[in-house]
Amino acid sequence: MLNQKENRKLQAKSRFIRFLVLIVILGISTLLGILHQVLLTRPPVGVDALCPFGALESAYTLIATKTMLNKIATSSFLLLISTLLVAIFFRRVFCGLICPFGTLQELFGRIGKKIFRKKILIPKQIDRFLRYWKYLGLGLIVFFSAYTGTLVQRPYDPWVTYHHLSSSDLFSEFNIGFLILLFSLVGSLLYDRFFCKYLCPMGAFLALINKLSFFRIERNESTCIKCRACDRICPVNIEVSKEKIVHSPECINCNECVTICPVPDTLLITNRKKTRFFSPLAVLGITVLLFFIVISITSLTGNFQWTVQSLTEQVKIKGDFDPNLITGRMTFMEVSAASGIPKEIFLNEFRISEEDLSIPFKDLKNKYPFETENVREFLKQFIEK
């Protein structure tokens, strides 16, 4: 058993490593998002294909039609499987130890604490009511994604918006998403992890399966000194000091309460029979290792998609040409090659020059009065004729 001094050192180390891992994941995700916007040849896939929630949105469509929603890839399903695997053991650790948007909010929360010098709380009754919104959002998003066959959340998704901050499509496609992103980050300055607590549909899904997990946080009542350090550090405002077992589905399993507790072996990560115990560092290591193994193996086998497929490749996989596959980075020449529609049709319809045929749609909108969506709509009407 560690003495108090050794325990404090280990706790500080655990908190540092957790935050470092979160920052690295956020950095990688941000870099991939930037490269997706600036690279014209074989850019990384978009954020939709690197988010496990995309798999939930696309699950019904995959089962019903054997195809995935536009912008979703096998990688989304592999990340969802990884998330579920770690959730079986350690509950919502994806939220507390992996999710980069959670990290972004946590960064703003830390800035907020520096500014306001204290933790600000929403009145309990209002807080409890607001937390139900994410469950409503989960149901609506999954239902309407299945019903419409599209990613209905996408224009409002703050994380997708974050990855389009440098895009010319920001205010044409993500104006509401930008407002939600801004609201979430400003909210996180005042209230820790604002979006996680009140709006995140992925968090709602993981909260619903929370009780299936083998391990949970337990408090040793005989050694607890009621200092409430655990309550103060909890980003989702659980009163850990009043719980024998942290059952709340709102817990994101960041394990910050465990690593702040001043009394050794008072807050423990254990199974129901208390025959197995894990340190926060071990939980972090297992979680990161599992994601790393799944991503590495499936990348080697070619199942984890890292780069955007050409429109022609997507059409071959899908079986027919779908105008919804068109994105702002594509050109009329690409569309012509993939659809078989002569380039002269585009020259006449959109009054463009030969040189413009090879310029991405997102760059043409500064020169002509049409955008990517107008091209999609024209093609839908043309195909229906």
Q: Kindly state whether residue 36 falls inside one of the protein's structural domains.
A: yes
Same domain, 324 and 181: no
* Final residue belonging to a domain, choices 300, 327, 354: 300
Q: Kindly state whether residue 225 falls inside one of the protein's structural domains.
A: no
Q: Kindly state whether residue 270 falls inside one of the protein's structural domains.
A: no
Same domain, 65 and 116: yes
Same domain, 296 and 373: no
Q: Which sign does the torsion angle of CA 213, 215, 217, 219 carry?
A: positive
Same domain, 200 and 339: no
- Asked whether the whole model's pTM tops 0.85, one would answer yes
Q: Are the C-beta atoms of residues 55 and 79 closer than 8 Å to each other?
A: yes
What is the count of structural domains for the chain?
2
Q: H/E element holding 130?
A: helix 124-131
Give buried/exposed letters for 168-177 (b at 16+ CB in 10 A, else e): bbeeebbeeb
Q: Kindly state whether residue 335 falls inside one of the protein's structural domains.
A: yes
Same domain, 99 and 180: yes
Range of the domain at 25: 10-209+285-300
Structure token digits, residue 340: 């078989």
Could you count the other beta carbons within 10 Å of the beta carbon of residue 56?
A: 21
Same domain, 295 and 371: no
pLDDT by residue for the chain (385 residues), tens only, comes to: 567 788 899 999 999 999 999 999 999 999 999 999 888 778 899 999 999 999 999 999 999 988 888 889 999 999 999 999 999 999 999 999 999 999 999 999 999 999 988 888 889 999 999 999 999 999 999 999 999 999 999 999 999 999 999 887 788 889 999 999 999 999 999 999 999 999 999 999 999 999 899 999 999 999 999 999 999 999 999 999 999 999 999 999 999 999 999 999 999 999 988 888 999 999 999 999 999 999 999 999 999 999 988 888 888 877 788 888 888 888 999 999 999 999 999 999 999 999 999 998 888 888 888 888 899 999 998 888 7
Helices (H), 167-279: 170-173, 175-190, 194-198, 201-208, 229-233, 256-260
Q: Kindly state whether residue 77 falls inside one of the protein's structural domains.
A: yes
- The set of residues, in sequence order, having a beta carbon less than 8 Å from that of 13 and lying 6+ positions away, is 281
* Final residue belonging to a domain, choices 266, 300, 334: 300
**Residues 122, 126, 131: CA angle, nearest 5 degrees:** 95
The position carrying tokens 């380039």 is 343
* Final residue belonging to a domain, choices 272, 300, 328: 300
Same domain, 194 and 69: yes
Same domain, 205 and 315: no
Same domain, 323 and 194: no
- Which pLDDT does position 309 carry in this prediction? 83
Q: Kindly state whether residue 375 falls inside one of the protein's structural domains.
A: yes
Instruction: Identify which of 307, 300, 326 has the alpha carbon closest to the alpha carbon of residue 380.
Output: 326
Distance set, CA 34 to CA 43, 178, 184, 264 (Å):
10, 17, 21, 44
Q: Kindly state whether residue 215 falls inside one of the protein's structural domains.
A: no
